[in-house]
């Protein structure tokens, strides 16, 4: 019997702390592990849930297809145009990547990404960067807030009104698009179709009725510094809306005026959130995002159901559910360690954050951390990260569809969808570039590479090859490894040299770390070993 949501009482060591950080943040930093190991597991979870993620204003960024912005310009909406503004969307994307790379010890960035997948909105359809940015700020505002309130606000969000045609929904021509997705994907979820048009949790009747409730809302983007939601009374259906038996035959009284329409929206959300299935649906999505994509009947009973109870009892506050999940025996159970394939953001941002990544500029040989501090160069460094994320099939601000990423909903493959013959090569190329080749971020400016001297310096006894291998394996992989796997890795690390020879090389380097030859003797062992570890299949798991 796998563990349920009862509080975890087992060991609290490196492995558990790293597991928590890997799932709640991107990648694992040794300093973060050390910090949370100073306190208890509960304190660590509380810290992650209570720490905000400060929002730095979007930094001026460089995009090579920039129209109305140039590098170094301030973040000034007045300069943005309504016409084809893909460059501006890219501006927001790079800023967002920067936020994730510089995340504090907090779950907020991981939750923002979760919500961007949950309320998946296609930037390519909305085609208005400021709409998308406004929506993004809404995701941040509610990231750990109240789901019911969030659902209400996203319904009237201007980008959402555009994306799912809410702004074309009228009493004479109801547009069902948003009303359908609100139920199918955003709140209660679609159950099995037991009769034509009856999806167990709601019916086609409810789609149409909800569409009529939501008639009349419009987006107004005439002032980009103040994008608003407006209401046109003449387009609103003021008649009563009859829902099906799936919603206890609820009738939502038709009302007029903006205040009336808001009451109708409240009634609609209240009706949907009165169903326990709504709590379960979101808990399943959180579980697939943070723990494991395969929900067995046993997990449904011992994990999802009690989490959902906490959710609905707590008036759909998000924090208590996450606290219960992350403090649970189930979350730390060995059966779920390493049980997720990293999505491209976890792979890329996680790898950047897990190591000290050095920027090297061909022109000046100036060295600093990745991404560089100079705003202009910083923007150049972020652009290829966005490109690589998208070719690995994670396109920020442009999900594959309103259902979000198939890895989190498409059975039976789920997260296996991330990996195929094409994407695996892109993933391997990324780690190869960052470990032994050079991750080029700009043809003229430079590249990034993992600083292996810093990483070996953290090992408790760097001169002992067995210790190096043991500690690196523990740091890099999400689950304990077998004796066989340790031996294989050690053989790979040593190659043609002996443990004694490694000890000698290390001592030489330690005695004179500036000596070019001594450095080279170390580097030529460490870089290929790191490349080997990051390239094997296990590194794709988290």
Partner 1 sequence: MRRRDFLKAALPAAVLPVALGGYSLRALARNPIIDALMPQADCSDRTLVLIQLFGGNDGLNTVIPLDQYDRLQPARPEIIVPEKDIIKLTDTVGLHSALTGFRDLYNKEQLAIIQSVGYPVPNLSHFRSTDIWTTASDYNQYVSTGWMGRFLELEYPNYPFGYPNDAMPDPLAIQIGSILSPTLDGTLASMGMAFTNLNRYFNVDTDDTTLASTRAGELEGFVRSIGEQVNKFGVKVQNTANSTTIKSSLWPPHRSNPLADQLKIAAMLICGGLKSRVYLVTLGGFDTHYSQNSKGNSGQPFTHPQLLELLQDAIAAFLDELERQDKHRDVLGMTFSEFGRRIKSNSSEGTDHGAAGPQFVFGHPVQGGIIGANPIIADKIEIEDNLPMAYDFRSMYATVLKDWFCADDARLNSVLFKDFPTLPFIRGGGSSVSPSATMRNLQVTAVPNPFISGSLIRVQIPAGVLRVSVFNAIGAEVLVLHDAYHGAGIYEATIDGNGLASGSYYVRVQSGNQVTTTGLIRK
Q: Which is nearer to partner 1, 361 or 409 (CB)?
A: 409
Q: How far is the CB of 267 from partner 1 (least distance, A)?
A: 24
Strand partners, 341: 541
Q: How far is the CB of 191 from partner 1 (least distance, A)?
A: 12
Which of 97, 66, 93, 94 minimizes the C-alpha distance to 80? 66
Q: What is the dihedral of CA 271, 273, 275, 278, to 10 degrees?
A: 140
Query: Closest CB to partner 1 among 170 and 474?
Result: 170
Instruction: Give the nearest distance from C-beta 317 to partner 1 in angstroms.
Output: 30
Least separation in angstroms between CB 487 and partner 1 = 9
Based on CB atoms, which residue is closest to partner 1, 462 or 478?
478
Q: Which is nearer to partner 1, 121 or 312 (CB)?
A: 121
Structure tokens at 429: 């190329």
Shortest distance (Å) from residue 422 CB to partner 1 = 4
Nearest to 329 by CA among 60, 22, 3, 2: 3
Task: Supply the minimum distance, in Å, between the C-beta of residue 451 and partner 1.
Answer: 22
Cβ atoms of 319 and 46 closer than 8 Å = no
Question: Which secondary structure element, helix H or strand E, spans residue 217, and what is its range?
Answer: strand 217-220
Helix (H, G, I), strand (E, B) or coil at 369: strand
Of 157, 155, 121, 116, the closest CA to residue 139 belongs to 116
Among 8, 1, 3, which residue's Cα sits nearest to residue 323? 8
Nearest CA to 460 among 468, 451, 450?
468
- For the CB of residue 428, give the shortest distance to partner 1 in the complex, in Å: 5
Q: Is 296 or 315 the residue whose CB approaches partner 1 more closely?
A: 296
**Nearest alpha-carbon partner for 269 in 326, 233, 306, 316:** 316
Q: Is the peptide bond before 371 cis (omega within 30 degrees of 0)?
A: yes
Least separation in angstroms between residue 292's CB and partner 1 is 6
Task: Based on DSSP, count helices (H) and strands (E) in the chain, helices before strands.
Answer: 25, 8
What is the smallest separation between the CB atom of 190 and partner 1, expressed in angstroms? 7
Tokens coding 108: 């907020």
Q: Residue 276 or residue 423: which is nearer to partner 1 going by CB? A: 423
Query: Is the Cβ of residue 195 or residue 259 nearer to partner 1 in the bound state?
Result: 195
Angle, alpha carbons 163-167-173 (nearest 5°): 115
Q: CB nearer to partner 1: give 205 or 276.
A: 205
Residue number with CB closer to partner 1 (264 or 395): 395
Look at residues 293, 282, 365, 307 and name the one whose alpha carbon lies nearest to residue 336: 293
Q: How many Å apart are CA 302 and CA 205, to the nearest integer?
A: 33
């Amino acid at each position: 019997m796998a563990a349920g949501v009862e509080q975890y009482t087992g060991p609290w060591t490196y492995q558990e702390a790293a597991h928590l950080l890997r799932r709640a943040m991107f990648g694992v930093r040794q300093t973060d592990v050390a910090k949370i190991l100073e306190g208890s597991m509960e304190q660590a979870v509380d810290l992650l849930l209570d720490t905000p993620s400060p929002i730095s204003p979007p930094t001026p960024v460089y995009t090579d297809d920039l129209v109305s912005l140039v590098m170094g310009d301030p973040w000034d909406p007045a300069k943005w145009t309504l016409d084809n503004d893909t460059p501006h969307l890219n501006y927001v994307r790079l800023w967002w990547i920067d936020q994730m790379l510089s995340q504090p010890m907090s779950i907020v960035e991981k939750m923002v990404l979760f919500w961007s997948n949950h309320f998946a909105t296609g930037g390519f359809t909305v085609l208005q960067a400021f709409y998308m940015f406004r929506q993004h700020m809404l995701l941040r505002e509610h990231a750990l807030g109240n789901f019911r309130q969030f659902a209400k606000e996203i319904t009237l969000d201007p980008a959402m009104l555009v994306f799912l045609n809410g702004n074309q929904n009228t009493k004479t021509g109801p547009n069902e698009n948003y009303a359908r997705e609100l139920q199918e994907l955003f709140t209660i979820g679609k159950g099995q179709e037991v009769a034509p048009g009856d999806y167990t949790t709601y019916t086609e009747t409810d789609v149409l009725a909800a569409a009529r409730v939501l008639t009349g809302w419009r987006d107004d983007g005439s002032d980009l510094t103040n994008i608003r939601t407006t209401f046109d009374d003449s387009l609103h259906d003021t008649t009563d809306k009859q829902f099906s038996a799936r919603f206890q035959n609820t009738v939502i009284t038709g009302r007029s005026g903006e205040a009336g329409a808001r009451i109708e929206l409240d009634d609609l959300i209240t009706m949907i959130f009165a169903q326990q299935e709504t709590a379960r649906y979101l808990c399943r999505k959180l579980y697939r995002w943070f723990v494991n994509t395969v929900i067995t009947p046993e997990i449904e009973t011992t994990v999802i159901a009690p989490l959902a109870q906490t959710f609905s009892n707590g008036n759909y506050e998000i924090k208590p559910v996450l606290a219960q999940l992350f403090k649970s025996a189930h979350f730390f159970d060995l059966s779920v360690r390493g049980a997720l394939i990293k999505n491209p953001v976890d792979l890329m941002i996680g790898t950047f954050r897990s190591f000290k990544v050095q920027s090297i500029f061909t022109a000046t040989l100036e060295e600093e951390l990745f991404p560089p501090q100079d705003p202009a160069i910083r923007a150049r460094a972020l652009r290829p990260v966005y490109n690589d994320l998208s070719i690995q099939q994670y396109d920020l601000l442009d999900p594959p569809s309103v259902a979000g990423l198939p890895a989190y909903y498409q059975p039976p493959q789920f997260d296996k969808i991330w990996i195929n013959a094409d994407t695996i090569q892109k993933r391997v190329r990324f780690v190869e570039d960052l470990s032994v080749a050079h991750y080029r971020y700009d043809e003229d400016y430079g590249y990034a590479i993992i600083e292996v001297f810093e990483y070996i310096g953290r090992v408790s006894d760097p001169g002992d090859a067995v210790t190096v291998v043991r500690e690196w394996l523990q740091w890099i992989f999400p689950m304990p490894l077998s004796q066989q796997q340790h031996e294989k890795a050690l053989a790979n690390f040593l190659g043609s040299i002996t443990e004694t020879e490694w000890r000698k090389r290390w001592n030489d380097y330690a005695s004179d770390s500036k000596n070019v030859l001594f450095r080279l003797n170390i580097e030529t062992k460490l870089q290929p070993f790191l490349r080997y570890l990051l390239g094997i299949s296990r590194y794709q798991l988290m």
